[in-house]
Structure 1
Amino acid sequence: MPEALPPTPLLDDDELDLLDDFLDSERAGEDALDVIGAHGFLVALAVAPREVPATRWVGELFHGEPAFADAAERDTLLGLLERLRDNAMAALERGQLPELPFELTLDGIAPEETPIGDWCAGFMEGVFLDESAWFEGDEEAAATLLLPFMALSGLFDDEPDMADFAGRPADAERLVAQLPELVLDLYLHYRVPPETPKPKPRPKKPAGRGGKRRR
């Protein structure tokens, strides 16, 4: 069997560092997502069942108006955010796994206390942005596919089902290791319609009565 391809980076390290510096600064606003949360948020938008306008998701990501130094900085930073989302869509469309900006292990730490929990919380922020679109049609299937992200995010700890789902360290580690594949599963569910089976050819009528006369 051919070796599995490594996960695809959605931005290079320098670009992520540039986003990290700005999102971690006072100019981004104290309620803005950090670079880990923003990464999860934008991957969710890449998977989302329908397009969310940039004017809407930019406002949600920053939770306000960031203080860009000038129009050039604004274009650079918003361009990087949009390219991260677009690169995620392109990779998933090719069946590739996205590279996530953290090690896929908890090392015995609770998910909500790690970048993994922050990323999943950012992903769920992207879901909340257009929640009805994610759950319309087949609510049960959507809930099943989103459950790992919900459980690891730490946003739903008050719900007993979440504690049962990822409360055991081994179960949580398994979910973390599967996160890139789970993202692809979601993309295939929402963005790739199932193949319509080809219609079977009609059986030919036998020659004779009701059919063509033999010559």
Structure 2
Amino acid sequence: MSDDKPQPLPLLDDEAMDRLDDFLESDGVDADALDLIGAHGFLVALAVSPSDVPPATWVPELFHGEPTFADDAEREEVLGLLEGLRATAIEVLEGGGLPELPFDLELGGVPPEETPIGDWCAGFMEGVFLDEPAWFAEDEETAATLLLPFMLLSGLFGDEPDMAELAKDGDRLESLTTQLPELVLDLYLHFRVPPETPKPKPRRKQPAGQNKGKGKPKRKK
């Protein structure tokens, strides 16, 4: 039996990811800035976001302030890689593809917040928080349902009783982890791809003379 599930696609190549990692771990970046895993989740959230968040808003949020670049060339390089990751995520999701996430999709019994999975989902939620009203403006209930796995795996909501209870279900957490790429696509389709409007049905032509003088058909009671 063949598996028709599409293979996840990388959003940046290994060399670009290493370059970003080096910069985000450098002394030129605030210690509270997002690391590579968190930044990846953050930028994927911006790709999914129902509102277009400008770089002037998201760059200082990602870096927790203004990073120190060696020169204009480095600024252009680093910001170009970050924007490229977001743009590639949009391209992949727009084509119905799945994003490749920079970690293994399994918890192995470890709490999510102690893994890269939790870091990625926390970064994703940071992207949501940038314009939270936009995510819930149209259909709050559906948005909350679609975002629940990211919230649960992020470990950011452990103080909420309902979330703490759900977090005790290890099998559920493991299942959500394996589904993360598909869950990202579900969110993108919900927020970014408008539902197809049904085409109007063609009206049947009546043979000449039929129903003449009878008026409109009455609706059955």
After TM superposition, the score normalised by the length of structure 1 is 0.95
Q: Which 4+ stretches in 1 moved above 6 angstroms? A: none
CA distance in 2, matches of 1:179, 1:4: 14
Moved more, 151-160 or 198-207: 198-207
Counterparts of 2:66 and 2:147, CA distance in 1: 30
Q: How does 1:36-185 map to 2 (within 5 A)?
A: 36-185=37-186
Tell me how far apart the structure 1 counterparts of residues 124 and 60 of structure 2 sit (CA, whole Å): 16
Deviation at 1:2, TM superposition (A): 6.1
Counterpart-to-counterpart distance in 2, 1:18 and 1:2? 34
SS in structure 2 of the partner of residue 163 of structure 1: helix
Report deviation, 1:4: 2.8
What is the RMSD of the two structures over their aligned residues, measured on CA atoms?
1.3
State the alpha-carbon separation in 1 of the partners of residues 30 and 93 from structure 2.
Answer: 31
Please give the TM-score of this superposition, normalised by the length of structure 2.
0.92
Q: CA deviation at 1:206?
A: 3.7
Give, as a single letter, the amino acid of the residue that structure 2 aligns with 1:180.
P
Shift of residue 210 of structure 1? 5.4
1:108: how far off? Answer: 1.0
User: Match for 2:20: what amino acid?
Assistant: L
Query: CA separation in 2, counterparts of 1:170 and 1:14?
Result: 35
Q: Which runs of 5+ in 2 are unaligned?
A: 215-221
Write out per-residue CA displacement over residues 98-138 of structure 1, whole angstroms, 9 at most, x where no aligned residue: 00000001111100010000000000000000101000010
Cα deviation for residue 164 of structure 1 reads: 2.8
Whole-Å separation in 1 of the counterparts to 2:72 and 2:24:
17
How far apart, CA to CA, are the structure 1 residues paired with 2:159 and 2:183?
Answer: 24
Q: 2:219 maps to what in 1?
A: none
Deviates most, 115-124 or 201-210: 201-210
Unaligned runs of 5+ in 1: none
Give the match's secondary structure for 1:26: coil
Separation in structure 1 between the aligned mates of residue 166 and residue 88 of structure 2, nearest angstrom: 31
Q: Measure how far apart 1:160 and its partner are.
A: 1.6
